[in-house]
Amino acid sequence: MILNGIYDATLQSLYIFRHPSKQLERAELYIDYYWIEKCRQINLIDRNPAWMAKKLKDSPLRSSAEPDIKSQLQRVENRYRTSNGGLRRQWYPGTLETLAHDVGLTSEYEMLQRHLSGFVHSSYLAISDGPWFKDFFLMHCAWQFSFRVLGRFAEYKEVPLTDDEREVVNLAFANVLGFSDSIA
């Protein structure tokens, strides 16, 4: 489940860094989506009958913060509108698969993300068959995904990399499912 979260964050990060001319716009979309999520959280609290929801709804902190939250929502909401007038379910257009395609990781996504999602959502197939790979491979994937993002961040911040660091970053972009059986 943790690797699934790391992979999701990796794809989103790579999408932000993908096109230099769109990096700031995409980073702002990511950050400003906070206001969409905050308002959805408030709406959830308002319609939930639980004791904790009532405490949150009646909090004096809420009444003082709510005008700013609504103002921020009005400022950003049109950037997240769908063709039918609703709001997107996530900050980026399309799906996570769309992001994987945009960053050139479609085949990896098709195999890895769907397999990992089975564990997150407790699919009977995932639970009964178990993971396809050994513990070392899980650790390897986590490192590889991290180096992908670190490499793009270094490019963005113009941090010079040594030859060894550059090689590690370049190798990190290889499809994690393209290795031999000895690693998996």
Q: How many domains does the chain have?
A: 1
The pLDDT, as a whole number, for residue 137 is 87
pLDDT of residue 166: 96
Q: Supply the pTM of this predicted model.
A: 0.88
pLDDT of residue 180: 42
Domain assignment present for 89:
yes
Residue 162 belongs to a domain: yes
Contact between 74 and 87 (Cβ < 8 Å): no
- Tell me if 155 sits within 8 A of 17, measured CB to CB: yes
pLDDT at 181 (0 to 100): 41
Asked, for residue 63, whether it belongs to a domain, the answer is yes
* Among 170, 145, 172, CA closest to 13: 145
- Tell whether 125 is covered by a domain: yes
Task: Tell me, letter by letter, the H, E, C secondary structure of the chain.
Answer: CHHHHHHHHHHHHHHHHHCHHHHHHHHHHHHHHHHHHHHHHHHHHHHCCCHHHHHHHCCHHHHHHHHHHHHHHHHHHHHHECCCCCECCCCCCCCHHHHHHHCCCHHHHHHHHHHHHHHHCCCHHHHHHCCCCCHHHHHHHHHHHHHHHHHHHHHHCCCCCCHHHHHHHHHHCCCHHHCCCCCC
In a domain, 60, yes or no: yes
pLDDT along the chain (184 residues), means of 10: 92 97 98 98 97 96 95 98 96 96 93 88 89 84 95 96 96 81 36
Crossing angle for the helix pair 163-172 and 135-156, to the nearest 10 degrees: 120
Task: Please report whether residue 184 resides in a domain.
Answer: no
* Residue span of the structural domain in which 57 resides: 2-178
Q: Is residue 48 part of a domain?
A: yes
Name residue 81's beta-bridge partners.
Answer: 87
Q: How far is CA 158 from CA 103, 152, 172, in A?
A: 20, 10, 19
Each residue's pLDDT tens digit, 111-138: 999 888 988 889 999 889 888 877 888 8
Tokens describing residue 181: 């059986």
Task: Note whether residue 174 is domain-resident.
Answer: yes
Q: What was the pLDDT predicted at 177? A: 86
